[in-house]
Amino acid sequence: MASVIVGGLHKAQEAVRQATSKEKKVVDLERDTANIHIKQPLTTDHGVRVENTDQWLRVVDDQHTGPSLLEDQIAREKITRFDHERIPERVVHARGTGAFGNFKLTQSIEDLTYANVLTDTSRNTPMFVRFSTVQGSRGSADTVRDVRGFATKFYTDEGIWDLVGNNIPVFFIQDAIKFPDFVHAVKPEPHNEVPQAQTAHNNFWDFVYMHPEATHMFMWAMSDRAIPRSFRMMQGFGVNTFILVNKAGKRHLVKFHWIPHLGVHSLVWDEALKLGGQDPDFHRKDLMEAISNKMYPTWDFAIQVIPEEKQDEFEFDPLDATKVWPEDIIPLRVIGEMELNRNVDEFFPQTEQVAFCTSHIVPGIDFSDDPLLQGRNFSYFDTQISRLGVNWEELPINRPVCPVLNHNRDGQMRHRITQGTVNYWPNRFDAAPPAAGPNVSQREGGGGFHTAPARVAGPKRRAVSAKFGEHLNQAQLFYNSLSEHEKLHVRKALGFELDHCDDPTVYERIAGHRLAEIDLALAQAVAEIVGATVPDRAVRANPGRRAPHLSQTEFMPPKPTIASRHIAILIGDGFDPVSLNGMRAAIKASGALPVIIGTKRSRICAEGESPSPSAVRAGVSPDHQLDGVRSTLFDATFIPGGSHIKSLSQNGQVKHWIAETFGHLKALGATAEAVNLVKESLGAVSGLKVGSAEQPVEWYGIVTAGGPQKPESFKETVNIVRGAKD
Ligand code: HDD
């Protein structure tokens, strides 16, 4: 029966079926893709060629321009199509960027599930991933302090699996019914639509105070996790608890994790603030550039598992999305890897129209009773109807790579044409019958989604179980587990946020009470900064418990790397070409991107080089000029020696660049004459000099918790600085 379905109704699907598993989505999208760069003439949407697209049809002679005519169907079509270009932006996560990739399972988890995507190691499942911020609207800046969405779509042979997560493992609320209140409170305030893309306002902090369950999450949101250096350097978490079902029908609770191979890295707050204005597209450009330079970002895929019968054995409820499953109790098991390797062809039909649904799971995976997940399962499908219409799953980016056949019909913008005389089940032809269950193969008409029996009993109540009532243990656990510089960043972030709250009730309650429930020293420091009453005793004790892998400093790549980092090289006329070329080659050899910044973008002459066109030319054409970019856009800066230092040291912008690079704790390298320029620009902070006589390049700004440190290499320099931002 199944082979008739595949062969008979979906001819276009045949090519997809024939494609290798890795290429399936590429082949699927090809049938809807055209290229504008061909010499085919312009047409209307109804296919008629257009002779003139620049002038509206009107009454006109050489002396008088008369009225434009409504009759001009070509002009009307052009304007009407334009007027209707926008669709509603996502109510949350409006600002985002996406890329295609693949998922490779490295270890079958047949013991836990019969989902083929998690048992078949020969597959290479196509994926689409969208990263986003939560609060801001579609045109807001990338580097704001916010949770990042980490939404993944697996195009499996058994249908779409959407794992719609964030870069933070917990959430603000426990019950989905609170989501509208939470989003209203976090979004710009209703009377003046301020502020954009930030939580630094009265309503947000009022809401989280009124909901102690939000404490754990707001501590994460105040940490460096909320200002990532790059989407490529973030962890992803499924957040909710799902169920894995194996062939014997046994159920396990599971949490999903993505761990970036590049390590977890963040910006410093000052950098993030400046980038918001200097380059609002910083993160989306970073991802696109890395992919176009073939520096494909990769993540491990890992699971944490609790057998269903053990779910009551913990001090927290494993169905509570405001709690992590500490890894010393429930270890991670790495089972696969994701690579992002293709940019979108066009933003709107792909990144904007992609739509995720937590309810999209494949056989072998099931929902837990996590009250947040249960509500999400309703909300996502519903929101896609208002954003994209009821047939949103037919859009090229959203449709599966396996055949779709059912008796759902009609609705706005229906594309699929289904031949045949019936549209209901059961029917006299046995057309589109339900599939057999998981014990029969897909080829033989099986693989139907089967809900493993689970017992549910109890009184009907608007409530959650008792363990959901504890809210502060893990907020403390998180804070205790941070390194000293991360704790400092949390204190400063709270200081910034509460400084933007002008209602004393709000900042008094958070600083004087809620924070004192977590850590007295933290509460005292923040209260003093923001002008709240400084608490003199802890509201509850802090036993100092810590857990592994909550601090992001524990997520460094096993081998330090500067791969894919942007390294600025500052030059003016008269730079030393040997130094520049040597460093440029070394940066490239390490897989990083050297970017030459000149005092102008016209050709810059090397030391001793004659501007005469016939002379041997050692100069370069810079990628940018000083005014076009800022130090914030780069991970490190190098300045070669040479006579150009004379003019560079007269240039305030260069000195500011150096000081700012240092202030943002990035590596600064210099040779020969440039060393003095760096010293001079850093002025009073000379105590932080590193490097040695044997090293031809001197490095500055290597700050670790233990004090200045000598790097072994350029790679280590950048890495130490990244790890030690304090
Ligand atoms: Fe949500 C979008 C992640 C709770 C309702 N959510 C959305 C996106 C991500 C998340 C990454 C963007 C998807 C994309 O790129 O298109 N949301 C989460 C996580 C949650 C969570 C990790 C907690 C575990 N969300 C949550 C709840 C509700 C929603 C409790 C409603 C009851 N979320 C939505 C939504 C959105 C959305 C309104 C807006 C656009 C969309 O769905 O497609 O339906």
Please report the pLDDT score of residue 162 as a whole number: 98
Please report the pLDDT score of residue 701 as a whole number: 54
Structural tokens at position 569:
């090289």
Q: What is the DSSP letter of 708?
A: E
Listed in order, the ranges of the chain carrying CATH 1.20.1370.20 are: 474-554
Listed in order, the ranges of the chain carrying CATH 2.40.180.10 are: 96-394
Ligand 1 atom 22: residue of nearest CA: 165
Residues in contact with 542: Cβ distance below 8 Å, sequence separation at least 6, in sequence order: 476, 480, 518, 519, 520
Nearest to 195 by CA among 272, 141, 147: 141
Ligand 1 atom 11: residue of nearest CA: 149
Structural tokens at position 282:
């910083």
Residue with tokens 């040291």: 649
Nearest to 363 by CA among 246, 214, 491, 497: 246
- What is the Å distance from ligand 1's center to 348 Cα? 19
Structural tokens at position 661:
């690079």
Please report the pLDDT score of residue 90 as a whole number: 98
- What is the Å distance from ligand 1's center to 151 Cα? 9
User: Is there an atom of ligand 1 within 6 Å of 658 CB?
Assistant: no
CATH class name, domain 566-723: alpha beta
Q: What is the mean pLDDT of residues 21-47?
A: 92
CA dist., res. 303 & res. 236, Å (int)? 12
Nearest to 359 by CA among 336, 376, 345, 339: 376
CA 121: distance to chain centroid? 26
User: Is there an atom of ligand 1 within 6 Å of 131 CB?
Assistant: no
Query: What angle do helix axes 179-186 and 202-210 make, rounded to 10 degrees?
Result: 150
Its sign, for the CA torsion 384, 388, 394, 397, is negative
Question: What DSSP line would sit under 399-412, residue for residue?
Answer: S-SS----S----T
**pLDDT classification of 516: cutoffs 50, 70, 90:** very high
- What is the Å distance from ligand 1's center to 167 Cα? 13
Amino acid sitting at position 65:
T
Its sign, for the CA torsion 416, 418, 419, 422, is negative
- What is the Å distance from ligand 1's center to 358 Cα? 8
Q: Is residue 723's pLDDT more than 80?
A: no
Q: Is residue 683's pLDDT more than 80?
A: no
- Closest atom of ligand 1 to 383 CA is 44
Nearest to 479 by CA among 217, 251, 258: 217
Q: What is the mean pLDDT of residues 51-66?
A: 96
246 close to 112: Cβ distance less than 8 angstroms: yes
Please report the pLDDT score of residue 557 as a whole number: 87
Please report the pLDDT score of residue 726 as a whole number: 34
Name the phi and psi angles at 266, rounded to 5: -130, 165
CA dist., res. 85 & res. 289, Å (int)? 27
User: Is there an atom of ligand 1 within 6 Å of 356 CB?
Assistant: yes
User: Is there an atom of ligand 1 within 6 Å of 179 CB?
Assistant: yes
Pocket test for ligand 1, best of 89, 92, 392 (most atoms within 8 A of CB): 92
Helix residue ranges per DSSP H, 252-298: 269-278, 282-292
CA dist., res. 715 & res. 631, Å (int)? 19
Please report the pLDDT score of residue 165 as a whole number: 98
Taking CA atoms, 61 is separated from 55, 66, 71, 655, 692, in Å, by: 14, 8, 18, 62, 80
Q: What is the DSSP letter of 168?
A: S
Please report the pLDDT score of residue 385 as a whole number: 97
Please report the pLDDT score of residue 442 as a whole number: 86
CA dist., res. 595 & res. 608, Å (int)? 23
Please report the pLDDT score of residue 12 as a whole number: 75
User: Is there an atom of ligand 1 within 6 Å of 380 CB?
Assistant: yes
Q: What is the mean pLDDT of residues 44-54?
A: 95
Please report the pLDDT score of residue 400 as a whole number: 97
- Closest atom of ligand 1 to 150 CA is 11
Compute the CA torsion angle 198, 200, 203, 204 (nearest 10 deg): 70
**pLDDT classification of 7: cutoffs 50, 70, 90:** very low
CA dist., res. 618 & res. 340, Å (int)? 38
| Edge-to-edge strand list for the sheet holding 698-700 | 624-625, 593-598, 566-571, 636-639, 667-670, 698-700
In the three-class reduction of DSSP (H, G, I as helix; E, B as strand; rest coil), residue 333 is classed as strand
Q: Is residue 183's pLDDT more than 70?
A: yes
- What is the Å distance from ligand 1's center to 380 Cα? 7
Q: What is the mean pLDDT of residues 398-420?
A: 95
Global pTM?
0.94
- Closest atom of ligand 1 to 151 CA is 11
Average pLDDT for the chain: 92
Residue with tokens 């070669």: 640
**Half-sphere exposure for 163 (CA within 13 Å, toward CB):** 28
Q: Is residue 715's pLDDT more than 60?
A: no
Structural tokens at position 57:
């049809």
Please report the pLDDT score of residue 10 as a whole number: 62
**pLDDT classification of 709: cutoffs 50, 70, 90:** very low
pLDDT digit string, tens, across residues 623-671? 999 999 999 999 999 999 999 999 999 999 999 999 999 999 898 999 9
pLDDT digit string, tens, across residues 112-162? 999 999 999 999 999 999 999 999 999 999 999 999 999 999 999 999 999
Name the phi and psi angles at 339, rounded to 5: -125, 135
Residues in contact with 720: Cβ distance below 8 Å, sequence separation at least 6, in sequence order: 667, 702, 704, 709, 711
- Closest atom of ligand 1 to 375 CA is 32
User: Is there an atom of ligand 1 within 6 Å of 149 CB?
Assistant: yes
- Closest atom of ligand 1 to 382 CA is 44
Nearest to 244 by CA among 371, 119, 370, 115: 115
User: Is there an atom of ligand 1 within 6 Å of 375 CB?
Assistant: yes
Please report the pLDDT score of residue 222 as a whole number: 98
Q: What is the mean pLDDT of residues 255-262?
A: 97
User: Is there an atom of ligand 1 within 6 Å of 350 CB?
Assistant: no
Please report the pLDDT score of residue 256 as a whole number: 98
- What is the Å distance from ligand 1's center to 379 Cα? 8
Q: Is residue 707's pLDDT more than 50?
A: no
- What is the Å distance from ligand 1's center to 376 Cα? 7
Where would I find the beta strands (DSSP E) of 157-240? 159-166, 236-237
Pocket test for ligand 1, best of 130, 380, 388 (most atoms within 8 A of CB): 380
User: Is there an atom of ligand 1 within 6 Å of 357 CB?
Assistant: no
Please report the pLDDT score of residue 720 as a whole number: 45
CA dist., res. 131 & res. 93, Å (int)? 9
Pocket test for ligand 1, best of 320, 356, 385, 392 (most atoms within 8 A of CB): 356
Tell me the range of 559-563, 569-573, 695-699 where mean pLDDT is highest.
569-573
Ligand 1 atom 27: residue of nearest CA: 376
Its sign, for the CA torsion 416, 421, 427, 431, is negative
Q: What is the mean pLDDT of residues 368-387?
A: 97
Element counts in the chain: helices (H) and strands (E)? 20, 20
CATH number given to 96-394: 2.40.180.10
Where would I find the beta strands (DSSP E) of 216-297? 236-237, 242-245, 251-260
Q: What is the mean pLDDT of residues 261-286?
A: 97
243 close to 252: Cβ distance less than 8 angstroms: yes
CA 594: distance to chain centroid? 25
Please report the pLDDT score of residue 692 as a whole number: 43
Reduced DSSP (H G I as helix, E B as strand, rest coil) percent helix, strand, coil of the chain, to 5: 35, 15, 50
645 close to 599: Cβ distance less than 8 angstroms: no
- What is the Å distance from ligand 1's center to 173 Cα? 13
Higher pLDDT, residue 684 or 111: 111
Listed in order, the ranges of the chain carrying CATH 3.40.50.880 are: 566-723
Q: What is the mean pLDDT of residues 534-552?
A: 94
Higher pLDDT, residue 476 or 21: 476
189 close to 174: Cβ distance less than 8 angstroms: no
Residues in contact with 22: Cβ distance below 8 Å, sequence separation at least 6, in sequence order: 102, 124, 126
User: Is there an atom of ligand 1 within 6 Å of 103 CB?
Assistant: no
Structural tokens at position 21:
């598993």
Q: Which residues are catalytic?
A: 93, 166
Judge residue 656's burial from the number of C-beta atoms within 10 Å of its C-beta, 0-12 exposed, 13-18 middle, 19 or more buried: middle
Please report the pLDDT score of residue 138 as a whole number: 97
Please report the pLDDT score of residue 559 as a whole number: 83
CATH superfamily ID and name for 474-554: Catalase, four-helical domain (1.20.1370.20)
Q: Is residue 2's pLDDT more than 50?
A: no
- What is the Å distance from ligand 1's center to 652 Cα? 46
CA dist., res. 685 & res. 708, Å (int)? 12
CA dist., res. 711 & res. 245, Å (int)? 50
Please report the pLDDT score of residue 613 as a whole number: 62
Q: What is the DSSP letter of 682?
A: H
Q: What is the mean pLDDT of residues 421-443?
A: 94
- Planar angle of CA 260, 261, 266, nearest 5 degrees: 55
Please report the pLDDT score of residue 561 as a whole number: 87
Q: Which residues pair with 131 in a beta bridge?
A: 97, 150
